[in-house]
Structure 1
Amino acid sequence: MRLPRSGAGWTIAVFGLLALLLGALGLIWPETQLRLLGFEVPAERAPGDYTGTFLTASSMASFNMGVYYLLAVATEWRPFYRFTVWFRLVTFTVFSIAVLSDVAPDRFFGVAAWEGLGAVATAVGLWWDARRAAGGPGRPAAADDTAPGPGPVPATDAVR
């Protein structure tokens, strides 16, 4: 896999890698994942307690999502980058409401913050990439435009 070719690509790559690793952690050591999220880990589960089933499903979803994000980086799929900004903000909102309404423990707000900050970082990366492509501050010198590599990012990829 090649390295990201844009500022926004780096934000997506970091999130994708962490989603993949945390998904793997939940599949391999579910108790560790629960403790990281601030949930209690009883010595024994009651009949009908499907916490393990739910954790397996969400860990697999996280693992898969990490793969999707890394695939988007490998192909520089910028519409996906823009899509993630809005839906990560929705995720931030839903997770924050879960904490504020005592559905989730306070430590779970870290997950909400991660989503919100990640959305903002990707939005800033998209803005910076578009500005760079349009010749704004941060644009490489003209001589760099002929250097081998991915080239400038199209200006049409700004956050809308």
Structure 2
Amino acid sequence: MKLPRSIAGWTIAVFGVLALVMGTVGLLWPEAQLRMLGFEVPETRAVGDHTGTFLLASSMAAFNMGVYYLLATVTEWRAFYRFTVVFRLVTFTVFTIAVLADIAPDRFFGVAAWEGLGAVATAVGLRLDARRGAPAGGIDASEGAAATADAEEGTGPAGAAPADAVR
């Protein structure tokens, strides 16, 4: 796997690795995941308690999200980076409200803080990268001329929108 080529890319990569790891922990050792988040782990579950099913689904989603974030890092997909800033701030807000409304335990605020700090770190990284001219849209500097030609023709590298090809 290629290492990130930008500050924002590193923030996305770190989140991706952690999402992948936490998803794996939830799939392989769900009780540990629940304890880390501050939830009780009873000896037995009541009939109709679908905590395990929900944790399985959430862990699989986290695992997949980790893969998506790492793929975005490898391709330096900056539009995805910007998208994550907005939605990680939304996640921070929802999780914070859940803690304040006593829907989730206080320790769950750590998840909210992680989302909020990650969003801010990526936003700062995007700003710093823009100032120093970091790679954009999965295009290496050596591919700049081809990207310009593709942009003029309305095409871009495989899987990239034309706007991404020239950013």
Using structure 1 for the length normalisation, give the TM-score: 0.84
Which amino acid counterpart does residue 129 of structure 1 have in structure 2?
Answer: D
Which amino acid counterpart does residue 7 of structure 1 have in structure 2?
Answer: I
Which amino acid counterpart does residue 101 of structure 2 have in structure 1?
Answer: S
Unaligned runs of at least 5 residues, structure 1? 135-149
Deviations 1:2-34 (A, max 9, x none): 000000000000000000000000000000000
| Residue 120 of structure 1, CA deviation | 0.1
RMSD after superposition: 1.8
Structure-2 residue corresponding to 1:123: 123
Structure-2 residue corresponding to 1:142: none
Structure-2 residue corresponding to 1:34: 34
Aligned residue pairs, count? 140
Structure-1 residue corresponding to 2:133: 133
Alignment of 1:10-159 (within 5 A): 10-133=10-133, 150-151=140-141
| Residue 151 of structure 1, CA deviation | 4.2
Tell me how far apart the structure 2 counterparts of residues 106 and 115 of structure 1 sit (CA, whole Å): 15
Please identify runs of 4+ aligned residues in structure 1 that moved more than 3 A.
none
Which amino acid counterpart does residue 62 of structure 1 have in structure 2?
Answer: A
Unaligned runs of at least 5 residues, structure 2? 135-139, 145-162
Percent of residue pairs bearing the same amino acid type: 78
Structure-2 residue corresponding to 1:145: none
Which amino acid counterpart does residue 40 of structure 1 have in structure 2?
Answer: E
Structure-2 residue corresponding to 1:144: none
Tell me how far apart the structure 1 counterparts of residues 132 and 92 of structure 2 sit (CA, whole Å): 29
Tell me how far apart the structure 1 counterparts of residues 3 and 141 of structure 2 sit (CA, whole Å): 14
Tell me how far apart the structure 2 counterparts of residues 133 and 17 of structure 1 sit (CA, whole Å): 26
Which amino acid counterpart does residue 75 of structure 2 have in structure 1?
Answer: T
Using structure 2 for the length normalisation, give the TM-score: 0.81
Tell me how far apart the structure 2 counterparts of residues 25 and 133 of structure 1 sit (CA, whole Å): 38
| Residue 133 of structure 1, CA deviation | 1.6
Tell me how far apart the structure 2 counterparts of residues 41 and 25 of structure 1 sit (CA, whole Å): 15
Tell me how far apart the structure 1 counterparts of residues 72 and 132 of structure 2 sit (CA, whole Å): 21
Tell me how far apart the structure 2 counterparts of residues 126 and 60 of structure 1 sit (CA, whole Å): 28
Which amino acid counterpart does residue 17 of structure 1 have in structure 2?
Answer: V
Deviations 1:89-125 (A, max 9, x none): 0000000000000000000000000000000000000
Structure-1 residue corresponding to 2:157: none
